[in-house]
Amino acid sequence: MNAYVAEFLGTAILVIFGNGVVANVLLARTKGHGGGWIVISAGWGLAVFVGAFCAAPFSGAHLNPAVTAAMAAAGKLGPGQVAGYVLAQMLGAIAGAAAVFLFYRAHFAVSDDANAKLACFCTAPNIRHLPQAFFCETLGTFLLVLPIFLMTDVTASMPAGSGAAQPVAIGLGTLGALPVGLVVFGIGLSLGGTTGYAINPARDLGPRLVHALLPVPGKRDSDWGYAWVPVVAPVVGGLLAVLVHIAVR
């Protein structure tokens, strides 16, 4: 499979499972309504595992522009591939968010909480203080990307012709997706309570665009005043993780 196709499919799967669990918990009259934060955190951890496991053999399973930027900064991805990876991730996130809306469309129609509907697409801070939210998203992504570098062999090479570096978990082979999924589960449980832990620009911006464009019944605005935080802060966090990894290795 082409690396860009893998990034598209992996990110779409990630968003379908991740935003899907949010919709199942928050929207009215679903089987999972009121399931709580642990269900959402577990669902996102599994979403990352499934998406990454599917894409890893073909692209290295970045599924996240912050990870792609970090890999490029570390010299593990050619600069000419960054735009292709990020575009594939954005399109995958958009496709995944649209699929979740279509799947739960009847439940969007019977739900009254416009903020909950927005949360099924993208993140928002529970206390609106943008510098603090920026710090939270930066630290959360730092604690995603640094473990990826520490737990995986980012020097492993991709199959011939793919042109990308593939992170493979040490001693686990392609099951490197499992520890990364567990890291995301842990971030959600420990650090997700402030901003909803986007820690991934594509996962937040792509679905936010879908929320803005699709006829979601009773929707509010898409909160563009906050949208830059989950785009910029994760990239900063990922690049800081590269610097720390270089310093300690």
Does domain 3-248 match CATH 1.20.1080.10?
Answer: yes
Q: How far apart are CA 216 and CA 144, in angstroms?
A: 32
Instruction: Give the model's confidence band at 6: pLDDT under 50 very low, under 70 low, under 90 confident, else very high.
Output: very high
Give tens-digit pLDDT for 57-115.
999 999 999 999 999 999 999 999 999 999 999 999 999 999 999 999 999 999 999 99
Q: Where are the domains of the chain?
A: 3-248
pLDDT of residue 176: 76
List Cβ neighbours of 116 (8 Å cut-off, separation of 6 or more). 26, 27
Extract the tokens encoding 180.
């990364």
**What is the average pLDDT across 29-48?**
98
Q: Kindly tell me if the per-residue pLDDT of 21 is higher than 50.
A: yes
Instruction: Give the model's confidence band at 164: pLDDT under 50 very low, under 70 low, under 90 confident, else very high.
Output: very low
> What residue type is 200 in one-letter code?
N
Three-state secondary structure call for residue 1 = coil
List Cβ neighbours of 153 (8 Å cut-off, separation of 6 or more). 167, 168, 169, 170
Three-state secondary structure call for residue 173 = strand
List Cβ neighbours of 73 (8 Å cut-off, separation of 6 or more). 238, 239, 242
pLDDT of residue 153: 55
pLDDT of residue 175: 57
Q: Kindly tell me if the per-residue pLDDT of 202 is higher than 90.
A: yes
Return the DSSP state at 158. P
Three-state secondary structure call for residue 168 = strand
Extract the tokens encoding 122.
């993208």
Nearest to 121 by CA among 235, 29, 18, 192: 18
Q: Kindly tell me if the per-residue pLDDT of 219 is higher than 80.
A: yes
pLDDT of residue 249: 83
CB-based contact 64:205 (threshold 8 Å): no
Percent of the chain with pLDDT over 90: 87
Helix and strand numbers, DSSP H then E, in the chain? 11, 2
